[in-house]
Structure 1
Amino acid sequence: MPPSDLTDRPAAARLVNVTRRYGRGDGTVHALRGVSLTLPVGSFTAVMGPSGSGKSTFLRCASGLDRPSSGTVHLGDTELTALRERRLTLLRRERIGFVFQSFNLVPSLTARENILLPLRLAGRRPDRAWLRDIVERTGLTDRLRHRPAELSGGQRQRVALARALVTRPDVVFADEPTGALDLAARQAVLGLLREVVDAMGQTVVMVTHDPVAAAHADRVLFLADGSVVDVMDAASAERIADRVHRLEPR
């Protein structure tokens, strides 16, 4: 599945020797231990590992939601770890998209208003052609006037994905995006993630516990005890499940 030239592409994001520690003294927790990797432009990367392996901390540091204890994080040519909080907040709004398991939609807004919310907060006008393309790809054309309570779980996640894409971000970070969905909705959302990479050139990073979901990615990173311990390209769900099983504590 993965393009053979991924290693030749420029970096959408880079982590260089990133560590993240919580607490002090004997109570220190080492959530990330010297993680260095590159996320190529137009790639789909899945991140897997046992509970407590550092998956969520990796996503938070890579996306600028959390600052590492040491090391650097780069989005394109911009070093996130060098930015002040206000500039970092603006950068996340304009250049990073987020999709979460809990959707994080505003209940009082329609689907269309939720999709356009990042642009509204940034004071930017929508690119109508881009918006139309996103809405059509996510299958939301006839749901734009519905509020979240009037949508199924799969439709709400598609709204969240459309919202993440509307600013044309450098990277979309997805944290367990299919965890709250039924089988049909999971497959639809995973298909959309694959499509935005293949057809739109988007860069996607997805944290997941589901080997079937991870099998949609170009590359799977395996974390254990805060370190990247293995990488698989174009792996089947069976191979991925076996590798995760071997990382589980005995």
Structure 2
Amino acid sequence: MNAGGTCALELESVSKVYGSGDGAVTALNGVTVGVRRGTFTAVMGPSGSGKSTFLHCAAGLDRPTSGRVLLGGTELSKMREKALTELRRTRIGFIFQAYNLLPSLNVLQNITLPMRLAGRKPDPQWLRQIVESVGIAKRLEHRPSELSGGQQQRVAIARALITRPEVVLADEPTGALDTRTARQVLDLLRSIVDEMGQTVLMVTHDPVAASAAHGVLFLADGKLAGHLPQPTPERVAERMTHLGEW
């Protein structure tokens, strides 16, 4: 977990407190972690452990109460909202459980939307490489409603990659998929990391999903509660059952 040029994303002593006084809730408590470029990292923890807040702070969607978040050396907490929006559009890719595709746009238009919003034209070669690698090259004219859940999530992955982001943040990306489709999507995410050198950070509650990653970060009560390299579903599940003892 070394800092410096090898990290795509760094959180330094990040704390996030919601509310104030007696009603204050500490969602993150002094979390320091570096996500190395070209790695696939899963984030796990019991309900209420701070996983969502972790992802939101990493994405610049939530500002930490204290500490710093750095994306490739850019400190997010110091940026104004307009600059942050621009950064999220071009330097971070997002994948959600609910796909978040626009029903009125076809697949190609959904994929290239982040570029259009940023006022840029997609690189045709990169676009072709992405749609082929995620396996939807033959579906570009279709609307989301004409696709299966797994295909829609592939479109969402392509959309996340179109700007060549520095990091892709995935929030329960297989949560709405059946086991077989989920496996295909996880294999796809892993191949994007291994073959394209992309960096993926994925929040999940599923030990099987987490086992697709190179390593798993565990959160408990808003604190970092360990790291498991080369995870297997069994080892992840075992670690999760012991998290209450941290």
User: What's the TM-score, normalizing by structure 1?
Assistant: 0.95
Residue 77 of structure 1: how far off its partner (Å): 1.3
Task: Render the CA deviation track for 1:141-171: whole Å, top value 9, x for unaligned.
Answer: 1111111111000000000000000000000
| Distance in 2 of aligned mates of 1:64 and 1:7 | 22
Other structure's SS at 1:106 match: coil
| Distance in 2 of aligned mates of 1:7 and 1:199 | 22
- The match for 2:51 among 55, 59, 67 is 55
Match of 1:139 in 2: 135
| Contact kept? 2:225, 2:243, Cα under 8 Å | no
Amino acid paired to 2:110: N
Relative to structure 1, the CA distance from residue 23 to residue 40 in structure 2 (aligned partners, 3 Å threshold; closer, same or farther) is: same
Match of 1:3 in 2: none
Residue 63 of structure 1: how far off its partner (Å): 1.1
Tell me, yes or no, if structure 1 residue 209 matches structure 2 residue 205. yes
Residue 74 of structure 1: how far off its partner (Å): 0.3
| Distance in 2 of aligned mates of 1:245 and 1:107 | 40
Match of 1:165 in 2: 161
Task: Render the CA deviation track for 1:57-91: whole Å, top value 9, x for unaligned.
Answer: 00000111111111000001110011000001001
Match of 1:14 in 2: 10
| Distance in 1 of aligned mates of 2:221 and 2:159 | 33
Residue 248 of structure 1: how far off its partner (Å): 4.6
Other structure's SS at 2:196 match: coil
Residue 27 of structure 1: how far off its partner (Å): 0.9
| Distance in 1 of aligned mates of 2:149 and 2:89 | 24
Which runs of 5 or more residues in structure 2 are unaligned? none
Which runs of 5 or more residues in structure 1 are unaligned? 1-5
Tell me, yes or no, if structure 1 residue 65 matches structure 2 residue 65. no
| Distance in 2 of aligned mates of 1:247 and 1:145 | 46
Residue 7 of structure 1: how far off its partner (Å): 5.0
Amino acid paired to 2:62: D
Q: Percent identity?
A: 61
- The match for 2:179 among 150, 164, 183 is 183
Residue 236 of structure 1: how far off its partner (Å): 0.9
| Distance in 1 of aligned mates of 2:96 and 2:40 | 16
